[in-house]
Chain A
């Protein structure tokens, strides 16, 4: 250990101050460090002693790091900070004003854009919308009449104004999911199992007889994983789908969103921001392969290896949004699709190409993917989104799709 940080004073002295500053550095770097952790860190350092630099490192590590991906940040911050705390103090001084003020430049920009919208209501947004009472829930159908026109129009052909109102419609979407049985129980009149505990408590009442109480499995919607293609051929749709993913993410728990073009990106955290503009800005900043080529096989491989075991537990449903046009001639795609299909409870492929009545699975990518999906649906206008929502409802779930089964048997023969 260098002599600088700890000079043998009481732990409430310089060392504690240094740890506090170090914690602030970590916080600026994006780690979530609260005062509780700082106290714990001081306590831990006191307990471990300061004999070796390594021990000191791992002591702070065990308190400040909570996830594996935070290790690198911690490592860098540690080496910069504890080599020369002076230097860093100076840097902190320079940084401090920007810590106090919101450091997010795009936030202020977004705000100003909205301010503009508010000041000049004639452009873009129709002001009457704001006077409308907020609709709490729209399920499967869009009731307001001026939206009806939009329902059948392809996202690709919409004007800016139409896109804006379509986005508002999407923001109101509520996605019903067939609930799955969990292994937890709740009391119920007609449950199949006897709730002994409740029965016995009940038996202590003065009536005397033991009256059986019953219980049934609790139900809960399964996790939802959305894999969205944002390559060039999907460019016109991808913005819509981002809004769609944002609406779903904020509507329910356990939604995981990924985008892929040439590489896979997990945008779940970005989309959790409630404000749609901030969420989309964060997601866009994270994604580097907008409107590029598509390597579906590679992206799915990465998903299967890195993420499937972490997000596909507990009966997850996967929505795969892509046109299935693969740049690399569908190399390895079939195997990855098969693995994906086998590791989730339901795989739904949403393909905008399906809007053409004469669609046939001709491309290599489509041929490779089609045998491994449970459901195949178009997704190119608001109506098809509504259709998707209806399909996810439990009643429609078992209705098989004749066209899909036809293609699947054909492909199997080949």
Chain B
């Protein structure tokens, strides 16, 4: 059975925490509103800050089915909403011919029948589910083109789609919709206005440490502190792609697998590929610059050990 939606903002923070997601209060507030008022949540932010994760955690903790629509350029109704199973329809026509069915109206309703309907994520999300309203994750919306965005506008305001041959399908329960965007393109205001907007930022030092404690339990306290300090400093450098939370989790896990207890410049050089994904960035950070940052981080830790 599904769990009930959280009753307050504090309960939302708690809920996410149970799903091993350390959220700041701003995110919890927006999420609580989205759940309570049944309106979509629009999350924007750099890659790897945990936008998609919100939906997954929510599905796990509320025990709802997660329906994911991964967006890409050229995504259209037939791969996002529904499609007819043409091969089976053709067979049906042949069979009808063989049986000598003459009534065209009969044939039409036989062919465009729910049996031959292939349901894609958006349609699935509107159907009744035993566990309660499902969670619909529309991932990386910025990758589609404007026409699909416009179509989505219609779906998200009325929660219904129209299939010309069958009629209108209206949502049994309003699904919980989470939309993410990496901002490779500006999403139209009209769509955003229907949602609660949230910019998912990089976490601060304290919260990132908490995240590592939960997500990379293998890493020692000391190592985690150094990793977070280093990554936080790295984000201040003008890089083509700053490391996200996902990267710092990966790095901490990788380092603990390598039995590293204390960061040193050589280890950083060897494992920098986990943190930075562009050759220019890696080249720039390798050597003295990384060593300088590490020295600064260690000095900071010595100056104010975390209480």
Residue positions of A touching B, CB distance < 8 A = 32, 34, 36-37, 43-44, 47-49, 54-55, 58-59, 61-63, 65-68, 71, 182-184, 196-197, 199-200, 203-204, 206, 210, 304-305, 309-311, 313-314, 335, 339
Q: List 29 A-B contacts (CB under 8 A).
A: A34-B193, A44-B196, A47-B33, A48-B29, A58-B25, A58-B26, A58-B29, A59-B33, A61-B30, A62-B30, A63-B196, A66-B193, A67-B186, A67-B192, A68-B199, A184-B145, A197-B84, A200-B89, A200-B90, A204-B111, A206-B104, A210-B90, A310-B184, A310-B185, A310-B186, A313-B184, A313-B185, A335-B280, A339-B280
Contacts of B9 in A (CB 8 A): 48, 55
Given contacts A71-B199, A197-B84, contact A183 B73 (CB under 8 A): yes
Q: Counting chain A CB atoms within 10 Å of each CB, which of B78, B107, B145, B147 scores highest?
A: B145
Considering the chains assembled together, what is the distance between the CA atoms of A304 and B86 in angstroms? 46
Considering the chains assembled together, what is the distance between the CA atoms of A54 and B30 in angstroms? 12
Considering the chains assembled together, what is the distance between the CA atoms of A36 and B93 in angstroms? 50
Is B192 a contact of A304 with CB atoms below 8 Å?
no
Considering the chains assembled together, what is the distance between the CA atoms of A107 and B197 in angstroms? 34
Contacts of B238 in A (CB 8 A): 305
Contacts of B108 in A (CB 8 A): 204
Contacts of B93 in A (CB 8 A): 203, 210
Considering the chains assembled together, what is the distance between the CA atoms of A58 and B34 in angstroms? 12
Q: Could you tell me the distance in whole angstroms from the C-beta of A177 to the nearest C-beta in chain B?
A: 16
> Which residues from 170 to 196 on chain B have a C-beta closer than 8 Å to any C-beta of chain A?
183-186, 189, 192-193, 196
Considering the chains assembled together, what is the distance between the CA atoms of A260 and B44 in angstroms? 28
Considering the chains assembled together, what is the distance between the CA atoms of A335 and B280 in angstroms? 10
Contact pick for B189, options A44, A66, A183, A309, CB 8 Å: A66
Q: Could you tell me the distance in whole angstroms from the C-beta of A257 to the nearest C-beta in chain B?
A: 15
Residue positions of B touching A, CB distance < 8 A = 8-9, 25-26, 29-30, 32-33, 36-37, 44, 73-74, 76, 78, 84, 86, 89-90, 93, 104, 107-108, 111, 145, 147, 183-186, 189, 192-193, 196-199, 238, 240, 280
Contacts of B280 in A (CB 8 A): 335, 339
Q: Could you tell me the distance in whole angstroms from the C-beta of A195 to the nearest C-beta in chain B?
A: 10
Closest to B47 in A: A309
Q: Could you tell me the distance in whole angstroms from the C-beta of B243 to the nearest C-beta in chain A?
A: 15
Is A183 a contact of B74 with CB atoms below 8 Å?
yes
Contact pick for B33, options A44, A203, A339, CB 8 Å: A44
**6 A-B pairs with the lowest CB-CB distances in the bound complex, closest first:** A183-B74, A196-B86, A58-B29, A62-B196, A58-B26, A62-B30
Contacts of A339 in B (CB 8 A): 280
Is B183 a contact of A200 with CB atoms below 8 Å?
no
Contact pick for B86, options A32, A62, A197, CB 8 Å: A197
Considering the chains assembled together, what is the distance between the CA atoms of A361 and B173 in angstroms? 67
Main SS at interface, chain B: helix
Contacts of B33 in A (CB 8 A): 44, 47-48, 59, 62
Given contacts A55-B29, A62-B33, A182-B145, contact A305 B197 (CB under 8 A): no
Contact pick for B74, options A48, A67, A182, CB 8 Å: A182
Closest to B9 in A: A55
Q: Could you tell me the distance in whole angstroms from the C-beta of B285 to the nearest C-beta in chain A?
A: 15
Contacts of A204 in B (CB 8 A): 104, 107-108, 111
Closest to A312 in B: B184
Is A44 a contact of B183 with CB atoms below 8 Å?
no
Q: Could you tell me the distance in whole angstroms from the C-beta of A170 to the nearest C-beta in chain B?
A: 28
Main SS at interface, chain A: helix
Is B8 a contact of A49 with CB atoms below 8 Å?
yes
Given contacts A62-B198, A197-B84, contact A184 B74 (CB under 8 A): yes
Given contacts A65-B197, A304-B240, contact A59 B183 (CB under 8 A): no
Considering the chains assembled together, what is the distance between the CA atoms of A101 and B262 in angstroms? 65
Contacts of B183 in A (CB 8 A): 68, 310
Is B25 a contact of A55 with CB atoms below 8 Å?
yes
Contacts of B240 in A (CB 8 A): 304-305
Contacts of B104 in A (CB 8 A): 204, 206
Q: Could you tell me the distance in whole angstroms from the C-beta of A97 to the nearest C-beta in chain B?
A: 29
Given contacts A182-B145, A197-B84, contact A44 B74 (CB under 8 A): no
Contacts of B30 in A (CB 8 A): 58-59, 61-62
Contacts of A309 in B (CB 8 A): 184
Considering the chains assembled together, what is the distance between the CA atoms of A36 and B190 in angstroms? 11
Closest to A34 in B: B193
Considering the chains assembled together, what is the distance between the CA atoms of A310 and B73 in angstroms? 14
Considering the chains assembled together, what is the distance between the CA atoms of A59 and B36 in angstroms? 12
Contacts of A55 in B (CB 8 A): 9, 25, 29
Contacts of A48 in B (CB 8 A): 9, 29, 32-33, 36
Q: Could you tell me the distance in whole angstroms from the C-beta of A232 to the nearest C-beta in chain B?
A: 27
Considering the chains assembled together, what is the distance between the CA atoms of A167 and B92 in angstroms? 65
Considering the chains assembled together, what is the distance between the CA atoms of A66 and B199 in angstroms? 9
Given contacts A67-B186, A335-B280, contact A314 B86 (CB under 8 A): no
Considering the chains assembled together, what is the distance between the CA atoms of A327 and B89 in angstroms? 69
Contacts of B192 in A (CB 8 A): 66-67
Considering the chains assembled together, what is the distance between the CA atoms of A199 and B33 in angstroms? 46
Q: Could you tell me the distance in whole angstroms from the C-beta of A268 to the nearest C-beta in chain B?
A: 10
Considering the chains assembled together, what is the distance between the CA atoms of A325 and B185 in angstroms? 32
Contacts of B74 in A (CB 8 A): 182-184
Q: Could you tell me the distance in whole angstroms from the C-beta of A313 to the nearest C-beta in chain B?
A: 6
Q: Could you tell me the distance in whole angstroms from the C-beta of B237 to the nearest C-beta in chain A?
A: 11
Is A54 a contact of B147 with CB atoms below 8 Å?
no
Q: Could you tell me the distance in whole angstroms from the C-beta of B83 to the nearest C-beta in chain A?
A: 8
Contacts of B185 in A (CB 8 A): 310-311, 313
Q: Could you tell me the distance in whole angstroms from the C-beta of B40 to the nearest C-beta in chain A?
A: 11
Closest to B93 in A: A203
Contact pick for B37, options A44, A210, A304, CB 8 Å: A44
Considering the chains assembled together, what is the distance between the CA atoms of A263 and B61 in angstroms? 48
Considering the chains assembled together, what is the distance between the CA atoms of A31 and B29 in angstroms? 22
Q: Could you tell me the distance in whole angstroms from the C-beta of A182 to the nearest C-beta in chain B?
A: 6
Closest to B105 in A: A204
Given contacts A62-B30, A66-B192, A203-B93, contact A184 B76 (CB under 8 A): yes
Contacts of A62 in B (CB 8 A): 29-30, 33, 196-198
Contact pick for A61, options B26, B73, B89, B145, CB 8 Å: B26
Q: Could you tell me the distance in whole angstroms from the C-beta of B273 to the nearest C-beta in chain A?
A: 19
